[in-house]
Structure 1
């Protein structure tokens, strides 16, 4: 007997007592916290390796992966996944668009000091990892709201 997505969520919450879930029975994929951290770590590592203006701390591959993992989970830290409708402003297309604009601006920035390079690295790696979370969530059946509530 096939269950609906809602039944699967409720069953999972009842059995596991948590709200992180992946649907495999229905062929649908919903990223959970571990998925967001893994994708964020990969993005952080990639940005640390390929960025043109490297800083010795922020662009260290291990540190880039660490910052990416934390930033990849950040939207769910700000707006916890307490129910399937938790996605609001910080999970919205508005924030996604603003993030892309900010990332492009930071990418084009040529810092003068070592400290500015460090800040640039943190923002670039963290911003790209945050964006990876929104991209993953946008592919789910719920998608992202245009603006959401603050």
Structure 2
């Protein structure tokens, strides 16, 4: 944390980090339909489930929870992107699998 307080603010770094996070989130948001293509209205299976998202969060916590060098912002973007896809699908008449 001390490093951030003494580091000079660089707007290009903020823009680049935001672009990377947006790209990772966009890819993650499409990933459930890549893993389970929407060939029919009932295509949603395990990769479209809350338990799978919970498993992703758990695995990420185990792998990167104590890391000081892991790209946590990108990991967060991935989880938010994937979760937003599930949230959107959950608000459709078909919903998500249990």
Aligned to 1:75: 32
Aligned to 1:92: 49
Aligned to 1:140: 92
8 Å Cα contact 1:71-1:127 kept in structure 2: yes
Deviations 1:17-59 (A, max 9, x none): xxxxxxxxxxxxxxxxxxxxxxxxxxxxxxxxxxxxxxx69x7
- Where relative contact order (Cα < 8 A, 6+ residues apart) is larger, the structure is 2
Q: Which has the higher helix share?
A: 2
Task: Give distance in 2, aligned partners of 1:142 and 1:77.
Answer: 18
Aligned to 1:131: 83
Aligned to 2:8: none
8 Å Cα contact 1:99-1:131 kept in structure 2: no
Query: How far apart are residue 63 of structure 1 and its match?
Result: 1.1
Task: Give distance in 1, aligned partners of 2:90 and 2:57.
Answer: 15
CA RMSD of aligned residues (A): 2.5
Equivalent residue pairs, number: 84
Pairing 1:40-55 to 2, within 5 Å after superposition: none
